[in-house]
Chain A
Amino acid sequence: MKTSTISSKTLSEFATFCRDNDLSIGVNITKDAIHLLDKGKINNLDQAIYFLQFLFIKDRREIEKYKFLASKFFNRKFNFDIDDYSYEYDSLLSNFNENELENNKALYQYLSSPNNERLKVLSYEAISSFESLDLSRPVSINYWVERIMASSYVEDLSSIFETNEASFLQAYQIYDMKNSFLKNLREEIFIQLFNIKNQNKEPYEYEFLDNQVDLSEKDFLHTDKKERQELLNETRRLGMSLAVKLKREIKRKKKGRIALRRTIRKSLSYGGSMYSTVHQSKAKKKPKLIVFCDISGSMALYSIFGLNFLAGILNAFRNIRAYVFIDGTTDVTDVVRGNSGEEISAILGQWNNYVKNDGHSDYSFSFETLLDSIGDVSSNNLHLLVVGDARNNYRGINESLLDNLKEKFVRIYWLNPEKEQYWSTGDSIINHFEPICESIQEVRNLSQLKLFVEKLSRKII
């Protein structure tokens, strides 16, 4: 059987290709797809791929992935943008400063008529003007992308968008235009850096480091890309399972003692037969949890696991908040909630956005700012979960801060990814926190995290 545009064999192969790449697609999708394409009077491949998204995508986070897989499978680029209500960038350029436009001809040309070639020129210039680029360093490409995006070259490019005397609508459109341009530029810089890096041999080999057979026993730090992804999925599931446990326990505790008078009264409506019992309602006491995650350089990889674990819990609870810190605190609840692992990892890719002072961990100041930002949260059931190595770069810690933490939180749990033998050595201040913590646990791999979840689900309720 053949639809007007794609044969059922191709459709079936495309579905299998998508399924193999982690799109959750049912086995009988081909029948529905053929029916949709036939009845929807679809007559070209672009339209067909556009319409199939409604069948293939089951989550907004899968939209980009679906586009990518379709482009890869059919070996061509698909554009789903329908400009029902879009505005013309061209007309906005009249609001820009003429001198700035003159100085940024490449950007002006791109904005007048956006195309990929022009974007490539801009990203190439951005990369080549960034002198301290060193791709042999063991940091992610995202790190360099963010450094380049914060460079003076990109800053100069951005200044073109600063206009005067625009109405709110024009100003918003320009703001939107700027964001869209920076997003495209970031993507293009990533692609170019990726291509440059992959021309060379990987600078680090991980095989010799730690070769445990059981993945759950393997140190997060020593995993390769595939293993890491598997562990990240497992970590998120662990978070979700903790959430389910908490929910069940809260539900179970919701039922109070039997209300005898109301039970008898209710039984009258069944002719005196005691069909069901009535219980007194019990005020729900949901645990409030704050998760506080160190994302400084030494902690980066472990923090991805911490945040993924948290994402699993966050999707089930509204009253959990997530903060990341280096030398100051940033609320990332909305970034983590409902987002994919890739988006969460991107937090760490943009770590310089979270630097408040000098970029080195400052536990004292970070805890102080955390207490300030949750100052108005009053709860007698507030818990704190810290993910960090407590390496404070030889800064001191205030005793009154510890008292304040003890006062604010019912229980504090600490996940320390550092081997226990190194705790309280050098600039580690973990010993200062020991007296106020319910438990401090070394968590460097999945099985240690599982153990911790077991403990936590018993204690937190």
Chain B
Amino acid sequence: MKKEINVTIEDLESVGYFASTYIVDALNSALILGKPLLIEGPAGSGKTWLAKALSQLMSWELIRLQSHEGIDEDKALYEWNYRKQLLSLQSETEKSEVIDDIFSEDYLIERPILRALRSEQTSLLLIDEVDRADEEMEALLLEVLAEDQVTIPEIGTVVGSKNFYTVLTSNSTRELSDALKRRCIYLYLDFPEVAREALILRNHISDISKAESEQIASMVAYIRKLNIQKLPSIAEVSDWLKYVWSKDKNLDQVDLKRNIGILIKNNRDQEVVLEEIENFNNKQ
């Protein structure tokens, strides 16, 4: 049985993550039930950061599996050390020794999921951007997520030490299967509200005032509501503000045109944003 843990907004704040009650409640539900937490939301809304903050807060080892197209069990679960197996077979022939089994623990290479399952210390398995992986990969995850175990055909079932928690993140680029979702606690993590983003910005830039940070956060919130292809992430906003702030501490003097590339990474989006911000300012 996994140990029951409860985190608070203040706990997460102490490691630099500014969460809302909703986020903390979803996280605690996953921790109470010992179920994987599936965090879905737009890119750059702080999904991976939440997992990192949790591992830092609890001093758990973070075992990360970055998903991508074509990822399979060799990269995610385990792999046989073929080189060692071949060499063993060759030496067996040369030295006339008999090797019992080349499909044993000695020849097994642990990949992130197996490592987390067998970890003696409490660890956090982060399966990042699971939507980038193929559907076959999801099927592989089902046994791990539901039973905390994995079946290796040549060895048998490896049962996990129950010492690990799992967080999955997804950018919703494709629909995940119902079977996978059913095994998880679901959290939709959108971009932060104006006041919370302002708090994050103040944490990154020490000498900015509350009013100034809220002004920037509200402008960014407006930009995120425009019809643009890629919405600016929290990190991009923070980078942009750091740059602007280092040049001039008077935000009224900021010329968005000159440094928009830090905030918006698409030419068409840049045009839309500049035009809309100007229209918005003119309307007021």
Residues of chain A having any CB pair with chain B under 8 Å: 24-26, 32, 35-36, 39-40, 50-51, 54-55, 57-60, 63, 82, 84-87, 162-169, 171-173, 175-176, 240, 269-271, 273, 275, 315-316, 318, 331, 334, 338
Contacts and interface: CB of A to CB of B under 8 A. Distances in A.
Given A32-B33, A169-B211, 17 more contacts: A24-B182, A35-B32, A40-B32, A51-B29, A58-B181, A58-B186, A84-B22, A85-B20, A85-B194, A85-B195, A166-B284, A169-B214, A172-B194, A173-B194, A275-B82, A275-B86, A315-B173
B14 interface: no
B20 A58 contact: no
Contacts of B59: none
A82 B20 CA distance: 9
Q: Name the prevailing secondary structure of the B interface residues.
A: helix
Contacts, number: 114
B219 A172 contact: yes
A377 B213 CA distance: 38
A51 B22 CA distance: 9
B215 A168 contact: yes
Lowest 8 CB-CB distances: which A-B pairs, in order?
Answer: A172-B218, A85-B195, A58-B181, A60-B188, A54-B29, A169-B218, A85-B193, A26-B182
Interface in B176-222: 178, 181-182, 184-188, 192-196, 211, 214-215, 217-219, 221-222
Given A269-B83, A271-B86, A162 B187 contact: no
Given A82-B20, A84-B21, A87-B195, A24 B29 contact: no
A318 B222 CA distance: 25
B41 to A, nearest CB: 8
Given A24-B181, A172-B219, A32 B22 contact: no
Q: Which of A24, A86, A172 has the most CB of B within 10 A?
A: A172
Given A58-B181, A84-B20, A175 B222 contact: yes
Interface in B78-105: 82-83, 86-87, 90
A400 to B, nearest CB: 26
A102 B21 CA distance: 38
Interface residues of B, number: 50
Given A39-B4, A59-B181, A87-B195, A338 B172 contact: yes
Contacts of A84: 20-22, 193, 195-196
7 contacts: A54-B30, A84-B195, A167-B211, A169-B211, A171-B218, A316-B174, A318-B173
Nearest to B34: A35
B86 A270 contact: yes
Interface of B: 4, 20-22, 25-26, 28-30, 32-33, 35, 38, 40, 82-83, 86-87, 90, 172-175, 178, 181-182, 184-188, 192-196, 211, 214-215, 217-219, 221-222, 227, 229, 280-281, 283-284
B161 to A, nearest CB: 21
A162 B90 CA distance: 83
A331 B284 CA distance: 28
A166 B215 CA distance: 11
Contacts of B217: 169
Contacts of A240: 175
Contact of A169 (B4, B188, B215): B215
Nearest to B211: A169
A315 B211 contact: no
A35 B33 contact: yes
Contact of B174 (A51, A176, A273, A315): A315
Nearest to B199: A85
A257 B175 CA distance: 33
Q: Which of A25, A84, A163, A331 has the most CB of B within 10 A?
A: A84
